[in-house]
């Protein structure tokens, strides 16, 4: 009985998709996902969607007993969803953007020559926010780049200002781990003013431990980095007129679904099933994980890789509901698949086809988030 206004969630990890029919759930290999007829508990061929079906995944743990104790069994049983009816499917969506190539965002500041006189201080403020910078400094990061004192004539040239800014951000031992800058010098052409350009790039890669010492409490990036650039005057006022042209007020490093978050979801799903496999905080945690089969799941997930996740939300009506709290329990099945090569691997293609067939049977489309 559900008393909550959110959907229960079950996570699966697809290594392959069973596209043939009449395969028993017990015969699905580790990570193999199949569409199973609820009346026969056998897989159906690709393109077929029964009126009542389950989504089933072969267990990555192939050891059925723990510690050699025959009384503690059932740990290699296949992972099953609840029974699903196409008419009760509410929504299907995927995180296809996670498979796109990760690029570090940039922003360019245009610096016209003769914009600032030599008695001024051409300044910009850089603000870096996000979980990575908070972890490094216990606060958000910021700095002020000042080009004062480098003037050789009546007015600053664009090159003088840009060179000073690049040198300062490069010398900043804290922020240069997150922001880098490159100067494009002035190009003087007849009949036009010369401009210099400084391009700032926001990029950072978090450190991580190897699988052998994995702990669910280890940090992983949960908030994308952002970089805000603002021009300020000598008093630090950002609401000042300036001849600088800033390409964007804020740029954001795109967040993607990685194996770090997928592994934690799979561990949580396993704890709901009370099948153990993971322990943390004790000196013998790694040994316990080995005994209880947790290493098999960690080995199946590439923690630094990108993953596409398909989500299927459906309801299970309860026609005998004496409490009258909720008439429908909402469930979400999340099926993750590693992005391969150019972003399209065999398993990803097959899973996309499978979810497309289910969406067609439900009369909906697969949305992209």
Question: Half-sphere exposure of 290 toward its Cβ, with a 13 Å CA cutoff?
Answer: 7
User: Strand, helix or coil at 36?
Assistant: strand
The reply to whether 222 falls in a domain is yes
> Domain check: are 126 and 200 in the same one?
yes
> In terms of domains, do 227 and 341 share one?
no
Within a 10 A sphere around the Cβ of 353, how many other Cβ atoms?
14
- The label of the residue with tokens 């043939």 reads 20
213 and 319 in a single domain? The answer is no
Q: Are residues 16 and 83 in the same domain?
A: yes
Do residues 179 and 272 share a domain? no
CA angle 22/24/25 to nearest 5° reads 135
Question: Both 137 and 229 in a single domain?
Answer: yes
Structure tokens at 259: 């194996």
- Put simply, whether the predicted model's pTM sits higher than 0.85 gets the answer no
92 and 122 share a domain? no
Residues 228, 263, single domain; the answer is: no
Give domain status of residue 229, yes or no: yes
Highest mean pLDDT: which range of 34-48, 53-67, 194-208, 264-278: 34-48
For the chain, what is the largest distance between any 2 Cα atoms, rounded to a whole number of angstroms?
Answer: 88
- In whole angstroms, give the CA distance from residue 332 to residue 308: 16
| Structure tokens given for 78 | 């296949």
Q: List pLDDT tens digits, range 10-25.
A: 999 999 999 898 999 9
Determine the Cα–Cα distance for residues 57 and 333; give it in Å rounded to an integer: 11
- For 151-194, strand residue ranges (E) read 179-184
**How many separate domains does the chain show?**
2
Tokens of 260: 């770090």
Same domain, 68 and 95: yes
Confidence of residue 2 (pLDDT cuts 50, 70, 90): very low
Task: Indicate whether 237 and 272 sit together in one domain.
Answer: no
For residue 308, is it within any domain?
Answer: yes
- Of 252, 282, 298, the residue at which a domain comes to its end is 252
Full domain range(s) for residue 209: 106-252
Residues 85 and 160 in one domain: no
Residue 2, domain member (yes or no): no
3-state secondary structure of 79: strand
Residue where a domain terminates, one of 201, 235, 252:
252
**pLDDT tens-digit readout, 166-186:** 999 999 988 998 999 999 987
The reported pLDDT for the residue numbered 362 is: 95
Please, which contacts does 264-268 make with residues 24 or more away whose CB atoms are closer than 8 Å?
A: 264/216, 265/9, 265/11, 265/334, 265/336, 266/11, 266/13, 266/297, 266/301, 267/216, 267/294, 267/297, 268/11
Closest C-alpha among 88, 114, 307, 131 to residue 225: 131
Confidence at residue 341, expressed as pLDDT on a 0 to 100 scale: 60
Judged by average pLDDT, the poorest of 66-70, 251-255, 263-267 is: 66-70
pLDDT band at residue 192 using 50, 70 and 90 as cut-offs? low
Instruction: Kindly report the three-state secondary structure assignment for every residue of 236-293.
Output: CCCCCCCCCEECCCEEECCCCCEHHHHHHHHHHHHHHCCCCCCCCCCCCHHHHHHHCC
Q: Are residues 233 and 304 in the same domain?
A: no
- In this predicted structure, the answer to whether residue 322 has a pLDDT above a threshold of 80 is no
Give a yes or no: residue 331 inside a domain.
yes
């Amino acid at each position: 009985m559900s008393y909550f206004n959110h959907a229960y969630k079950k996570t699966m990890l697809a290594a392959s998709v069973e596209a043939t029919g009449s395969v028993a759930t017990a015969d699905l290999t580790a990570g193999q996902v199949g569409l199973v007829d609820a009346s026969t508990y056998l897989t159906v061929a690709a393109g077929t969607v029964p009126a009542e079906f389950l989504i089933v995944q072969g267990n990555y743990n192939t050891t059925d007993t723990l510690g050699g104790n025959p009384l503690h069994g059932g740990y290699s049983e296949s992972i099953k969803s609840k029974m699903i009816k196409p008419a009760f499917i509410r929504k299907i969506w995927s995180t296809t953007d996670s498979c796109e190539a990760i690029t570090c965002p940039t922003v360019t500041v245009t610096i016209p020559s003769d914009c600032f006189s030599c008695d001024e201080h051409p300044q910009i403020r850089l603000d870096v926010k996000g979980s990575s910078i908070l972890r490094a400094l216990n606060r958000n990061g910021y700095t002020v780049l000042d080009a004062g004192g480098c003037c050789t004539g009546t007015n600053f040239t664009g090159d003088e200002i840009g060179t000073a800014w690049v040198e300062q951000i490069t010398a900043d031992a804290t922020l240069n781990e997150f922001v880098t800058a490159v100067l494009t010098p002035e190009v003087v052409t007849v009949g036009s003013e010369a401009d210099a350009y400084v391009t700032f790039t926001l990029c950072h890669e978090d450190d991580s431990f190897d699988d052998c010492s994995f702990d669910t409490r280890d940090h992983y990036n949960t908030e994308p980095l952002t970089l805000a650039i603002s021009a300020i005057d000598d008093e630090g006022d950002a609401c000042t007129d300036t001849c600088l042209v800033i390409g964007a007020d804020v740029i954001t490093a795109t967040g993607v679904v990685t194996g770090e978050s997928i592994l934690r979801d799979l561990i949580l799903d396993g704890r709901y099933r009370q099948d153990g496999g993971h322990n943390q905080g004790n000196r013998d945690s790694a040994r316990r994980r080995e005994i209880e089969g947790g290493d098999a799941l960690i080995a199946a997930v590439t923690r630094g890789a990108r993953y596409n996740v398909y989500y299927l939300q459906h309801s299970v009506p309860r026609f005998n509901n004496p409490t009258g709290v909720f008439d429908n329990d909402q469930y979400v099945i999340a099926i993750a698949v590693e992005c391969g090569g150019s972003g399209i691997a065999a398993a990803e293609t097959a899973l996309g086809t499978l979810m497309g067939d289910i969406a067609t049977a439900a009369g909906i489309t697969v949305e992209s988030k």
